[in-house]
Amino acid sequence: MTPWALLYYLYDLSSFCIRLFMLFYLPLKHSPTTATSWLLAVYLWPWPVAVLYAVFGSTSLPAERTVRHEKLLSSIEKDSMGFRTLVRDPCPDLPEDLCRFAGLGSTMSNMNVTGGNDFQILTENEEFLGRLAGDIERAQTSVNLQYYILSRDKATEVFFAALERAAGRGVSCRLLVDAVGSKKFLKRAAKRLRKRGVRVEMALEPRIFRKSPITARYDLRNHRKIAVIDGLVGYTGSHNVIDCAYDGKAKGRQWHDLTLRLTGPVVSQLQGVFTEDWYVETRELLSIERNFPTPLRTGNAVIQSVPSGPSYPLQNYQRLVVSALHRAKERIVITTPYLIPDDELLHALETATLSGVEVQLVVPERGDQFIVGSAAKAYYDVLFDMGVAIHLYPDGILHSKTMTVDDDLAFVGTSNFDIRSFALNFEINLVLYGPEETEAIRSVQKDYLARSYRLTSEEWGELPFYRRAIYGITKLFSPLL
């Protein structure tokens, strides 16, 4: 037997062993849909996929991260000034079904619904950065920031300048950024901030083959966007701290986002989420007394924070979205850059349309990621068959993640309506209760709809076969995206 023949024989034998092992192993570790997708990939490319699975296959967090999180929660619960105690009010004056829904959110995320809040909607990048910089300029005790992507550019200079000045006058400034999303920032701009007195730390530092006690698979990312100033003013939504062209990503097309500037008790919940993430990454427990002032009731808005991610036993945000779809009676509007639904989300959308609910979906005409965008388009046929109205937003990248249900329930935050956001990423979302709160979000959705055009099933049916074939192939791997 020649050396090449021997190598081929060993490769063929090892490939068979990989396929056989994965056939028994994957169904024990994943849902049937995810396991099937991995098995398909393993059957086609056994060795490359085995390597990929070793890097990306596990969705569980290292035990050390879980221990740190539980230790922090235990410490906070023992403290009478813990942030959850500060906002543990009875359910505000809501209809019974909304109170039950809020109770579901509280059970899964350990965050109660809060009354007495106020919020402003920020959609323009310049306005978002300007308002945030202005609040940082007025900070007196603390500025706690957590973002997925940061970039020091012309648009964001006003933000960074305000942050440096705040640190210079003695304000405690902390910045937690995702190690992958802000990779360029950490290499180029973080050193300057540290010299100016800003604490800069990275979340989920990647280790591809060498895992540390607190790192996990490479693509488990912290996708949260949170800013809390003096414990009294908060921001969260889809904006990252970067120019709205995202440094030329997606061929320079403008990104369109939505962030809420918040005051009231809900800000303590955002501060609490930041506190937990900061502790897990740094082992520093922030002072409850200094970082959690008594919440001020600044308005009438009823809002609930819903943090989600691999550290929670359930996909809690996905459960809330599905539950909200099932309670819909008249109309659902969803805006998202990425729609890759799991079976439960698809069934909930189908149930809604079968019940006579009008479902409108607004997505970008062109996305920024080919594979993810192609997988999303593969679901259009299914959505058309259900009766979902698909509207394409042609003016850049629609990056806002919102959902309104009837006239009394709205969702805003960082989570896309895809499997990755539901299961893999650390996200933060808000649920808004009541007619006024919902109408405020729907008014922005109406603007998106007015600037979009409706795609018909006939137009979609005229798509060239080769493109539909590409979409179909990528759909097979959607549980892995």
Catalytic annotation, pick one of 79, 89, 381, 406:
406
Which one of the listed residues 230, 243, 368, 408 is annotated catalytic?
Answer: 230
Residue 187 annotated to the active site: no
Tell me which of 377, 399, 408, 418 is the catalytic residue.
399
Give the per-residue pLDDT at 30.
Answer: 65
Lowest mean per-residue pLDDT among 60-74, 252-266, 446-460:
60-74
| Distance (Å) of CA 351 to CA 169, 218, 362, 381, 385 | 56, 36, 19, 17, 12
Predicted confidence at residue 214, as pLDDT, reads 45
Res 80: pLDDT: 39
3-class secondary-structure state, position 179? coil
pLDDT for position 81: 42
Verify whether residue 408 is a known catalytic residue: no
Catalytic residue among 30, 135, 178, 225: 225
Q: Which range has the worst mean pLDDT, 84-93, 202-211, 222-231, 320-329? A: 84-93
Q: State the catalytic residue, choosing from 223, 239, 256, 377.
A: 223
Known catalytic membership, residue 223: yes
Q: Above 80 in pLDDT, residue 278?
A: yes
Sequential DSSP letters for 102-150 = HHHHHHHHS---EEEEEEEEE-SHHHHHHHHHHHHHT-SSEEEEEES-B
Give the pTM.
0.86
Binned at pLDDT 50, 70 and 90, residue 465 comes out as: confident
Average pLDDT over residues 150-166: 96
Amino acid in the structure at residue 90: P
Q: Which of 459, 420, 406 is nearest to 339 (CA)?
A: 420
**Active-site residue identified among 239, 256, 401, 475:** 401
193 near 281, Cβ under 8 Å? Answer: no
Catalytic status, residue 401:
yes
| Domains of the chain, each with CATH number or no CATH | 3-56 (no CATH), 63-100+112-306 (3.30.870.10), 316-480 (3.30.870.10)
* Structure confidence by residue, pLDDT tens digits, 407-460: 999 999 999 998 788 888 999 999 999 999 999 999 999 999 999 999 999 998
In the chain, the percentage of residues whose pLDDT exceeds 70 is: 85
What is the DSSP secondary structure assignment for residue 241, as one 8-state letter?
Answer: B
